[in-house]
Structure 1
Amino acid sequence: MEPAIRTVSSRVVYENRWMAVREDEIERLDGSRGIYGVIDKSDFTVVIPAENGGFHMVEEYRYPIGRRTWNFPQGSYPDRRSGTPEDLARHELAEETGFRAGTLTRLGYLHGAHGISSQGFHVFLATDLEPGETAREPEEQDMRQCFVTREEFKHRIREGLITDDSSLAAYTLLLLHEEGGVLT
């Protein structure tokens, strides 16, 4: 089947070590033309560190929204490098929380903003946690972490303290996993 939109030309209009923004000239099925802006970023991982009926979460200041919010540990490889999602999940978990996962279970893969970005994310459940030292990046100097019960987690969502779409989507995958659903 022919794609609904065909790329006629593409040019990078901005690039740094984390992302590239490109502008594509496109042609629609009816032959009309237009432009489409796309943000290309490397995939990232979200890790749900779970134990004792709850989760370990991190909180940090998020510059684009101008406030602190809570989320599950997450991140991508620096400089748009690539590697396995499992290795990245273990790295991000240790870097942000200090925990090492004895068991890492893949819950699925999702896209966060498929209308504007090529970026997706892998979701993992981390259990059998062993504490250790964090190794946070300079942008994470203000990061805090805490353990929350599932009820506290839901309360933080209701209060607007957890607004991160990838953390909420990861939680949904966890619930489906616990129901016995097989995810791809």
Structure 2
Amino acid sequence: MKKFEEKTVHSTEIFKGKVVTLTVDDVILPNGKEAKREIVHHPGAVAIIPITRDGKIVFVEQYRKALERSIVEIPAGKLEPGEDPAVCARRELEEETGYGAGELTYLLSFATSPGFANEIIHLYVAKDLYKIEEKRTLDEDEFVSIIEATIEEAEEMIENRQIYDAKTAYGVLWAKMNKM
């Protein structure tokens, strides 16, 4: 048994959307009492830290309805069912930035919001970038602009909350620690 494990005794799906499914789970707590857990099920995603030959990070700026504003992020996207994360990373990099990568390296995977969601992001760094001649098209509901910034400029964007999400802040920190 896992430490502090909560055993699910019943799960009710209350919403199934294009991106997430929401369930309410009845669980037995480690002390034997019952509780309810609302869980957001997500297929997982990738995020990419694209580094240009001159050491800049390629970001995308896009509107995020949940925040009611635009933020600057590293390119990222949802995994399709059964899709290899590396394949997804290359696709998302090309779609969102117009760049391909001569070198794509897996860094790590992490949970985004483990208190209520099972989403895992697989993080990659992309180097030896090159412009794609025929850029893949964005999803029909996706609108982005490209920003290339130094580590110092990215840190300023974190301070002024243009960069406002954990995956991007982590990506900037990783790039700084690895002297990209």
How does the TM-score come out when normalised to structure 2? Answer: 0.92
1:121-148, Cα deviation, whole Å (9 max, x unpaired) = 000000000102241112213x100211
Give the aligned residue type for 2:158: I
Distance 2:151 2:2 in 1: 45
Give the aligned residue type for 2:40: I
Distance 1:168 1:11 in 2: 35
User: Which ranges in structure 2 are unaligned for 5 or more consecutive residues?
Assistant: none
Deviation at 1:67, TM superposition (A): 0.2
Change (3 A) 1:28 1:42: same
Greater fraction of residues in helix: 1
User: Which ranges in structure 1 are unaligned for 5 or more consecutive residues?
Assistant: 180-184
1:57-81, Cα deviation, whole Å (9 max, x unpaired) = 0001101110000000000135xx2
Give the aligned residue type for 2:45: F
Of 54, 60, 63, which residue of structure 2 is paired with 1:61?
A: 63
Give the equivalent residue in structure 1 for 2:11: 10
Matches within 5 A, 1:36-51: 36-51=37-52
Deviation at 1:151, TM superposition (A): 0.7
Give the equivalent residue in structure 1 for 2:94: 94
- Count of paired positions: 175
Deviation at 1:11, TM superposition (A): 1.2
Identity among equivalent pairs (%) = 24
* Helix, strand or coil at the partner of 2:58: strand
How does the TM-score come out when normalised to structure 1? Answer: 0.90
Give the equivalent residue in structure 1 for 2:168: 167
* Helix, strand or coil at the partner of 2:162: coil
Matches within 5 A, 1:111-122: 111-122=111-122
| RMSD (CA atoms) | 1.5
